[in-house]
Amino acid sequence: MMKLAKKSWFTLIQFATIPVNYILSKLLKLKVVRPSNFHLEHGTLIIANHQSKVDPFLISTHVGKKNILNIVPIRYPVTPEYMNKKILGFFIRLLGGYSVGENSLERLKKLMFTRELLRDKYTVVIFPEGKIVRDADAVAEFEKGAQTLFSENYPVVFVRLNGLNNKHKFKFWQNHSARFEYSEYLGPEVPKEKKVEAMVKFFNVTAPVID
pLDDT digits (tens, 9 = 90+) for 102-154: 888 888 888 889 999 999 889 999 887 665 656 555 565 566 666 677 777 89
Nearest to 160 by CA among 178, 135, 134, 187: 178
SS3 string of 79-113? CHHHHCCHHHHHHHHHCCEEECCCCHHHHHHHHHH
Read off the pTM: 0.83
Q: Which residues 6+ apart lie within 8 Å of 65 measured at CB? A: none
What integer best gives the mean pLDDT of the chain? 80
Is 48 within 8 Å of 127 (Cβ atoms)? yes
- Per-residue confidence (pLDDT) for residue 2, from 0 to 100: 45
Is 114 within 8 Å of 77 (Cβ atoms)? yes
pLDDT digits (tens, 9 = 90+) for 92-116: 888 888 988 888 888 888 888 999 9
Q: Distance between CA atoms of 202 and 11, rounded to whole angstroms?
A: 30
Does residue 98 come out as left (phi exceeding 0), alpha (psi in the -120 to 50 range) or beta?
beta
Residue 33 class from Cβ within 10 Å (0-12 exposed, 13-18 middle, 19+ buried)?
exposed
pLDDT digits (tens, 9 = 90+) for 25-81: 888 888 999 999 898 988 999 998 888 888 888 898 899 888 988 888 889 988 888
